[in-house]
Structure 1
């Protein structure tokens, strides 16, 4: 089957009446769009596709535009290198060529996802011991980037489903190019979902540790404040400048003051300890000793056997 591949919008070609309205809309509207767009009709589909994940938050974004039919393939904005590689394979239909073009583009994505994996693994290794406060920013950057990866690859999966909808009488699974694109999409999304779970786990762990550390700091400050309360309180009393104060003339007034301060400090410390407010915040139920458990189990077995 002979078909034509067009790669420039200014090429003047004859378009069948079946595609005329859609082609006009695509050429006038979608080729200037900066978002992903997929439109499916009977025996053809067209739209726009974001090509580079790095530019999802930048302007201008790199957008590829496509118009796929049984008779011709029209692509605008796709890299010439990928188009030349696919054209050299001389596919029998434009549908095969289009999906092979998508597969070639996704093969490039694997290099980027491998670089992301290296940074993710490095960040996971750094999550030991004391980490700087800026580490949370690193986690948020990783989370934002993996979301951009997902937003980039999901339209490729939609194009696989859109092709089956547009060309109902063709079993696309019999086309090698379609199967290759499908396998690469599935592999990319599997990696992305795995890394998303890793980043979410890192975020939860960092948040939990931050909260736990904050509680430990607040507990320490509270205990310190409670223990220094007698010093502050009695210091305020004996620091008053009244002329008549009962302890001023006593020979052991200074020692008496220190004894009172130490006594109340010890009483507060004992009270906090009995309330279990000093020490680790994590308290697990106490377990009986191993030997005691074994003795109890043996005694139960003996009682059962005697019965």
Structure 2
């Protein structure tokens, strides 16, 4: 089968009447698009595709435009390196060449995914029970980045499905380049889904540790407030300026005041201890009782 690959179709080329309207629309509208677009018709499809990983700080994004039929393939914006590599393989149909072009581009994405994996592994190793503020920012950055990776790769899967819709009488699974593109899409999306799960787990763990740390701080402040209540209460009473205060005339009034403060502070501490409001938040009174009972049973068994 003879077919032609045009890498600069905006130049003067022969256009069949069947494709004239679609070609004009594609050349005028699609080639100015900054987002992924896929239009499927009978026996052909065309549109725009994000070629590079979508980074927030990188604008504008690099967009490639394609128009693939049974007889020819038009592309704009694809790197010459990939085009030359695919053209050298001399595929029998433009459909095969197009999907091999996609497979070549996806192979480049694996390098970016590997770099992302290294940063994710480092973040997981840094998670050692403490969550500094900058670490939370790093986790949110990783979560945003993996979502952008997903947005970059998903259109490639859509192009695989669109090909089946456009060329209904062709079994695309028999094309080696189509299978290669399909395998690479599945592999990329599998990695992305796995890393999305890891990032979500990191986010949940960091949030749990932060909440637990905050609860521990609030508990410590509450216990401190409770223990200092007798000091504040007795200090307020004996700090009054009433003329008739019998304790002021007592020879042992100062000692009496200290005894009362220490006694009531001890009572408050004992009450908090009995309620298990001083220990770890992860332990409950019934758990402690069960542990004590188990220890007693072990001692009886040994005896």
Same fold (TM over 0.5): yes
Give the secondary structure class of the aligned counterpart of 2:106: helix
Aligned positions of 1:100-249 closer than 5 A: 100-249=100-249
CA distance in 1 between partners of 2:15 and 2:41 (Å): 16
- Corresponding residue number in structure 2 for 1:2: 2
Spell out, residue by residue over 1:175-203, the C-alpha distance to the aligned partner (whole angstroms, 9 max, x if none).
Answer: 11111101100100010000000000000
Spell out, residue by residue over 1:192-216, the C-alpha distance to the aligned partner (whole angstroms, 9 max, x if none).
Answer: 0000000000000111111111111
Moved over 3 A (4+): 54-58, 287-293
Which piece of structure 1 moves more, 241-250 or 29-38?
Answer: 241-250
- Corresponding residue number in structure 2 for 1:304: none
CA distance in 1 between partners of 2:144 and 2:160 (Å): 26
- CA shift at 1:59, angstroms? 2.1
CA distance in 1 between partners of 2:53 and 2:267 (Å): 64
- CA shift at 1:9, angstroms? 4.2
- CA shift at 1:19, angstroms? 1.1
**Contact 1:55/1:62 (<8 A) preserved:** no
- Corresponding residue number in structure 2 for 1:79: 79
CA distance in 2 between partners of 1:291 and 1:278 (Å): 23
CA distance in 2 between partners of 1:69 and 1:290 (Å): 79
Spell out, residue by residue over 1:107-133, the C-alpha distance to the aligned partner (whole angstroms, 9 max, x if none).
Answer: 000000000000000000000143422
- CA shift at 1:25, angstroms? 0.8
CA distance in 1 between partners of 2:220 and 2:296 (Å): 37
CA distance in 1 between partners of 2:232 and 2:58 (Å): 59
CA distance in 1 between partners of 2:181 and 2:251 (Å): 95
**Contact 2:130/2:209 (<8 A) preserved:** no
Q: 1:100 to 1:291 in 2, by over 3 A?
A: farther
CA distance in 1 between partners of 2:231 and 2:297 (Å): 47
Give the secondary structure class of the aligned counterpart of 1:248: helix
- Corresponding residue number in structure 2 for 1:289: 294
- CA shift at 1:238, angstroms? 1.5
Give the secondary structure class of the aligned counterpart of 2:145: helix
- Corresponding residue number in structure 1 for 2:52: 52
CA distance in 1 between partners of 2:9 and 2:60 (Å): 19
CA distance in 2 between partners of 1:249 and 1:289 (Å): 55
- Corresponding residue number in structure 2 for 1:302: none
CA distance in 2 between partners of 1:21 and 1:217 (Å): 69
* TM-score, normalised via structure 1 length: 0.92
**What root-mean-square deviation, in Å, do the aligned CA atoms of Structure 1 and Structure 2 show?**
1.8
* TM-score, normalised via structure 2 length: 0.93
Q: 1:38 to 1:57 in 2, by over 3 A?
A: farther
What 5-or-longer segments of structure 1 have no aligned partner? 297-307
- CA shift at 1:283, angstroms? 2.4
Spell out, residue by residue over 1:200-237, the C-alpha distance to the aligned partner (whole angstroms, 9 max, x if none).
Answer: 00000111111111111101100000100111111122
- CA shift at 1:20, angstroms? 1.1
